[in-house]
Amino acid sequence: MLAIILGPPGSGKGTQAAKLAEKKGLVHLSTGDILRNAVKNETELGLKAKSYMDAGDLVPDDLILGIIKERIESNNNVLFDGFPRTVPQAEGLDLMLAETGSGINVVLDLDVSDQEVINRLSGRYFCSSCQATYNYPNKLPKREGVCDKCGIALSKRKDDTEEVVKNRLNVYKELTQPLQDYYKKQGLLKTVNGEGNIEAVFNDLVSILDSIKTG
């Protein structure tokens, strides 16, 4: 199974992708998490990506396609989260997959309003070690301010300030939303109301994945 989870910033892609990957035995491949780790570890990729991420802009397509190529060569059971983000990235992915005789099976598209995105991101905290996300008041950690799994203090993402979130939403509409048409034309797009609670959205997504037949 090769699946993509699409949606605006803060729509719940990471939250749902982690749960779906566990339930369906998929590798959760989040370009955002890979890039944040690279920035934290000050790798060559991280140094190139940092200024784009801090401003809420997209990292150049060639860097992203390089990250993906390395990781999918030996894997055909993947849930892509935050990738592709532009039509050229989607075309690049299709070419890579065609070389291995495979293709995307389904694109899960989370529909969430701008106001809900702003509310969710203003309450988001994350663990810089395991990348788990929490939310005040929607998904509280067991102990206030501390990651349930790692026991370390939770942080705010640098790109979750109001100004940067507005830019991320604009970038999404201009560069990422065209992917809805790209995948609709291929008959792969399944849009889900992402504004229900985490479990309700999860159940809808599981039903879709359960209905997909893979080659």
Beta bridge partners of 78: 2, 27
Instruction: Convert residues 18-47 into a mask of x (bound to ligand AP5 by CB under 6 A) and - (unbound).
Output: -------------xx--x------------
120 is known as an active-site residue? no
Strand partners for 29: 80
- What's the rounded Cα separation, in Å, for the pair 84 and 92? 9
Residue 197 found at the interface with ligand AP5 (CB under 6 A): yes
Rounded to a whole number of angstroms, the CA Rg of the chain reads 17
Closer residue to ligand AP5 in complex, CB, 73/214: 73
In terms of phi and psi (left: phi > 0; alpha: psi -120 to 50; beta: otherwise), the region of 159 is alpha
> In which element (H, E) is residue 214 found?
none
Interface with ligand AP5, residue 177, by CB under 6 A: no
CB of 126 or CB of 209, closer to ligand AP5: 126
Is 6 a residue that touches ligand AP5 (CB under 6 A)?
no
State in angstroms the smallest separation of the CB of 204 from ligand AP5: 11
Q: Which residues carry out catalysis? A: 13, 85, 124, 157, 168
